[in-house]
């Protein structure tokens, strides 16, 4: 089979984008709204997971946790799982890893970002802008860490 024929067999499409899980907590409300100056420390945690569904379908789940604290008290805590069902065919090895580790989370992120911003405002807090994330760089960083960990493990044996 030629490279051109292999390329023709490759398929990547979005079948469905959906919200899998979403939680919001505001343990300090309503007292938090009586404070005048709003300058919380915000922590962001981000991860993605991949699972095969059936055939060429793959579920990618982007999990984002945002916690805002003032004086060690949680103002709000959000955990969101933005998911997508993708048809991915003809890709293997590192190409498939890059698609599920970078490309798909990149597709899901704007949906997650909008949901988080909307819910924070509905929770009574000022506008929250989640900055863009470079999933390509995160994927490469993860790959480098895996290579370094494998090399370290090999040195031990």
Q: What is the residue-wise DSSP string for 12-79?
A: EEEEEEEEEEEEEE-TTTTGGGG-S----EEEEEEEEEEEEEETTEEEEEEEEEEEEEETTEEEEEEE
Give 74 or 154, the one with higher predicted confidence.
74
Look over the chain and give the mean of its residue pLDDT values, rounded to a whole number: 90
- Per-residue pLDDT at 148: 84
Per-residue model confidence as pLDDT tens digits over 55-84: 999 999 999 999 999 988 999 999 999 999
How far apart, in whole angstroms, are the C-alpha atoms of residue 80 and residue 66? Answer: 9
Between 17-21, 59-63, 108-112, 140-144, the lowest mean confidence (pLDDT) is in: 140-144
pLDDT score recorded for residue 7: 57
Predicted local confidence at residue 146, as pLDDT: 82
Q: What is the pTM of this model?
A: 0.84
- Rounded CA gap, 68 and 14, in Å? 33
Domain map (residue ranges) of the chain: 3-156
Does the 3-156 domain belong in CATH 3.60.150.10?
A: no
């Amino acid at each position: 089979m030629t490279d051109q024929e292999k390329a023709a067999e490759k398929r990547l499409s979005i079948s469905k984008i959906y919200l899998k899980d979403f939680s919001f907590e505001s343990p300090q409300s309503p007292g938090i709204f009586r404070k005048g100056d709003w300058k919380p420390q915000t922590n962001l945690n981000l991860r993605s997971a991949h699972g095969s569904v059936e055939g060429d379908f793959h579920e990618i789940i982007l999990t984002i946790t945002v916690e805002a604290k003032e004086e060690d008290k949680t103002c709000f805590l959000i955990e969101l799982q933005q998911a997508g069902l993708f048809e991915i065919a003809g890709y293997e090895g590192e190409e498939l890893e890059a698609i599920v580790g970078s490309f798909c989370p990149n597709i899901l992120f704007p949906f997650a970002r909008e949901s988080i911003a909307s819910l924070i405002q509905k929770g009574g807090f000022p506008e929250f802008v989640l900055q863009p994330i470079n999933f390509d760089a995160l994927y490469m960083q993860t790959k480098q860490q895996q290579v370094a960990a494998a090399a370290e493990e090999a040195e031990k044996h």
